[in-house]
Amino acid sequence: MSDYHRCPNCGHKPDSWGASHMEIYRCDDCGTEFCHRCPGSNGGRECPRCRSRRFRTNGKCYAK
C-alpha cells in the first residue's frame, strides 16, 4: 500500500469538506493508477485507460 497526496492520473485531491482520504486503485491489465474521480473511471468501477474492471486498491490519498 502506498500513500498519495493526489491522484496520479487526474490530480484530484480529497475534498477537504468530505472524507479525509480516498483510495487509489491500480489496474491489473495496464498498470494505470486512478481514483473514483478520474474521467472515464465510471466512479471508480473501471480503468479509465483500458476499461478493465480488474483492479485493486493500491493505496490511500490523504488530504494535507
Min dist CB 54 to Zn ion, Å, is 8
Binding mask 35-64 for Zn ion (x = CB under 5 A): x-xx--------x-xx-x------------
Residue 50 or 63: the one with the smaller Cβ distance to Zn ion is: 50
Residue 14 or 47: the one with the smaller Cβ distance to Zn ion is: 47
Let me know: does 1 contact 58? Beta carbons within 8 Å: yes
Residue 24 as a binder of Zn ion (CB under 5 A): the answer is no
